[in-house]
Structure 1
């Protein structure tokens, strides 16, 4: 209903009432006009009706929704199911063209418009979060791992043919490693350095690899900001300076770092003071949308790699992940987005305090990881097995005291140590079972990390896998104070964790008693 139609409607319904309705329609159109002219987040979030109006108008601009369109090509946005069509708002043509995901699609002016708006609002959302001087933000319908792979493939045109290695400070998460290998590069894992409780970037080790291989042999360094404690965010500023000096590309895996003001500030400092070719972040982890999207960002004046990713993308792309992000950002607006970020920052402080209280009650401690502003780690030392040669229970100690001294002296020392080691092994419930107990109680997201795990990923063997280093001093579990979590979630998690602690200890005591009884019977 435009102004002319409203005038005609006054013949059918009283002019006063029609004018009132026309003013409401005009108010919604003004929001759309402001969005198109300012090309940034509206200060106040939109209501659903206004968002739906934008989407419906855009969908009607795509050729498959023209009232007189006749499509005779092989791809004409034909959708068999009306349910599927409604799910996608009739936006079925996709975005981009065969040579550029950011290019306009001639058959889909509406979809192209929505995609351009999504890129612009994503850039503004990064600015609001604290990532300053954003020059490009490309939203792609790929999750973080495939987005990293795309960036590495695009990087080939910027590095010499001899560049075959990617330096990668170790993080025990499979995605990035597989992204490197999928792009045809060879990963060189750089160990982290333990400082106190936390694992930090070993800059000297990175420099040694650069000196050993030469800059011409290195495609890039991939650093990581958001990660599981006790690993800290990489020192992206120092690495950016190193890469700039050496002439090596630098990609930052900022998977869920947008939600942290501290990490956004570090990214900003890195690309101001050194070289950063692209920063890659997940849409679902940072903006609470379904899995399937990522944002590739770069600083103003340094967007070559992000531009290359857009031109590298083969064929058209699905608009759905971009649509999810656009709807969410319009729903929040700038003020709503700031509020969500502030709530997450407050949640981290709350989770740290409550976890500290829990640790004190159970003889554990929160690991000191000031370099990680999202993830927290709780030690699990109280569940560790007793030292060899010591009985785990009072019953076992009593039985040992009652054993005749002469018999103990006659027994060969080696045989006794073997029996004690076997008894200890039988008595110990694997600490990873605690994770299973939590999962069975509908606690998801936490990770229980046991020392000494060996695992092969992409043909590379890792010791102590899960802990980001070969030999972390203790077992632990992690908790993320992530976007969308609230204080009630933290409280309920700790309540159920307390129940699991109690049940786990009971299982341990039963195992110890059974093992001690078995050992006593066999020795008798």
Structure 2
């Protein structure tokens, strides 16, 4: 940046001031040159400087522009500009989410930069994948993936190992595909789907001349166990059918990441995760990643029209602000808090004559209750504890499909960002209402 300050300052002060300016601009230049997640997070002022410089590249910032189109990023108040970090033209182009937008060189560069940094972050965690940030949350991101599967592979039926989660079910309905549920079974305290039943469902659909796509679930509330995504990936490879994984909060724990790494050796067409559950962003953004770059391109083609830049910018801000070193610290803290939660709930269960359910989940824990679990959860809410879920044994949420679970229970979470004091407080409050 060539600023002519000659004659405005003594020469030695001008030199010193430009040196400081150069060092500040160098931080922004490094982000653009390296295009990877920084090891140490960057402060907000330099992130704002980056966003401001990029946004000034968009044509609506041109002081001499003549705007005669029907879509010219005309914005009524500064509040609205601030809400999208001044990327008022949005991202993408009609018919392709990742295409550069002629009126928005800055926003287009910002989106490309976000995806590059997102890929570097996933590679840092051990996932060698291509990735895009999406301007829609998990359910709609799944819909984009299913739509791409229909277009590329002619998929017309979704095989869904049942998890009582409305988003994937609605995503399937939204794009007009039929869903074939594979029922859960009970094994000890764990609710799971038998992989053999998934393969049988695939065989039946193929026999009926259909083209199935499997939508598996890696992350869900216990006692529902993660689907065996590795074995499902092997089966999908054997039958040459697409496989999409719902990994809403898979990025925050190596238990899930290790499963994804193994599954990616076989047939995985796309994985969907949430930006808010993993990257501390406001709700509204998604992350889609895969080894298959051509399928990722197909996904971007399924998005109709342009998109708001807001969810994408929030992902970029989080990646730059957190940094890789701090994210690992947050992952370690999450794991430590989960161990503390289990220890405290085990002790509480012994005192109250309840059971800490033996489920396989690195994020959430379950404790039984002889009281109405909805009443318990309601009391916790009134005690200003948000997050715990009360589930009756005849409720299909997280339990056996069309069957009854042996216990009423409360689900308590220890997701990334939680603190030890949060864990102590929630167990103390839970003890008071059980």
Q: Contact (CA 8 Å) 2:272, 2:286: kept in 1 or not?
A: yes
| Maintained 8 Å contact 2:219/2:248 | yes
Verify: 1:296 aligned to 2:272, yes or no: no
User: Structure 1 CA distance, aligned partners of 2:373 and 2:49?
Assistant: 53
Aligned partners of 1:465 and 1:306: how far apart in 2? 31
Q: CA deviation at 1:355?
A: 1.7
Match of residue 420 from structure 2: 487
Corresponding position of 1:308: 298
- CA distance in 1: counterparts of 2:295 and 2:177, whole angstroms: 17
Contact 2:380 2:430 (8 Å CA) reproduced: yes
Q: Using a 3 Å threshold, how does the CA distance of structure 1 residues 468 and 127 change in structure 2: closer, same or farther?
A: farther
Q: Do the aligned residues in 1 keep the contact of 2:205 with 2:212 (CA within 8 Å)?
A: no
TM-fit CA distance, 1:60: 0.9
**Quick one: which of 46, 61, 64 aligns to 2:60?**
64
Mapped pair 1:220 → 2:196? no
In structure 1, the residue matched to 2:368 is: 379
Q: Which residue of 1 aligns with 2:224?
A: 231
The alpha-carbon deviation at position 466 of structure 1 amounts to 4.2
> 2:100: which partner in 1?
104
Deviations 1:448-480 (A, max 9, x none): 110223xxxxxxxxxx44424422111111011
> Are the aligned partners of 1:347 and 1:486 in contact in 2 as well (CA < 8 Å)?
yes
Retained in 2: the 8 A contact 1:65–1:90? no
SS across alignment from 1:310: helix
Q: Match of 2:381?
A: 439
The answer on 1:27 being equivalent to 2:23 is yes
Residues 283 and 325 of structure 1 are in contact (CA less than 8 Å); yes or no, is this contact kept in structure 2? yes
User: Offset of 1:220 from its aligned partner?
Assistant: 0.6
1:87-112 CA distance string (max 9 Å, x none): 32321001111121101111111111
Q: Deviations over 1:130-169 (max 9, x none)?
A: 3x211x2111111110111111111112223xx4321111
SS in 2 for 1:9: coil
Asked if the contact 2:158/2:172 (under 8 Å) is kept, the reply is yes
Higher RCO, 1 vs 2 (CA within 8 Å, ≥6 residues apart):
2
Counterparts of 1:119-130 in structure 2, within 5 Å, are: 119-130=115-126
* Preserved contact between residue 172 and residue 468 of structure 1 (Cα < 8 Å): no
State the SS of the aligned residue for 2:264.
helix
Question: Which of 233, 247, 250 is the equivalent residue of 1:257?
Answer: 250
| Distance (Å, rounded) in 2 between the aligned partners of 1:87 and 1:165 | 39
Offset at 1:193?
2.6
How far is 1:316 from its partner?
A: 0.8
**Which residue number corresponds to residue 388 of structure 1?**
none
CA 1:44/1:20 → structure 2, altered by over 3 Å: closer, same or farther?
A: farther
Q: Which has the higher helix share?
A: 1
Following the alignment from structure 1 to structure 2, what is the Cα–Cα distance between the partners of residues 290 and 468?
32
How far the C-alpha of 1:15 sits from its partner, in A, is 2.9
Unaligned 5+ residue runs, structure 2? none
* Number of residue pairs aligned between Structure 1 and Structure 2: 432
Q: Distance in 2 between matches of 1:149 and 1:35?
A: 32
Q: Would you say the 8 A contact 1:329–1:337 is kept in 2?
A: no
Partner of 2:433: 500
The root-mean-square deviation of aligned C-alpha atoms, in Å, is 1.6
Q: Does 1:248 align with 2:244?
A: no
1:417 aligns to what?
none
5 Å matches for 1:405-484?
A: 430-453=372-395, 464-469=396-401, 470-484=403-417
- Helix, strand or coil at the partner of 1:432: helix
Question: Structure 1 residues 31-40 or 61-70, which shifts more?
Answer: 31-40
CA distance in 2, matches of 1:337, 1:153: 33
Tell me the secondary structure at the aligned position of residue 281 of structure 1: strand
Please state whether the residue corresponding to 1:338 is helix, strand or coil. Answer: helix
Structure whose alpha-carbon radius of gyration is higher: 1
2:132 aligned to 122, 138, 143, which one?
A: 138
Deviation of 1:492 after TM superposition, in Å, equals: 1.0
In the TM superposition, 1:326-365 aligns within 5 A as 326-365=316-355
Contact 1:167 1:218 in 2 (8 A): no
Q: Aligned residue for 1:80?
A: 76
In the TM superposition, residue 499 of structure 1 has moved relative to its aligned partner by 1.7
Runs of 5+ unmatched residues, structure 1: 384-429, 454-463, 502-524
Partners of 2:108 and 2:156 lie apart in 1 by 36
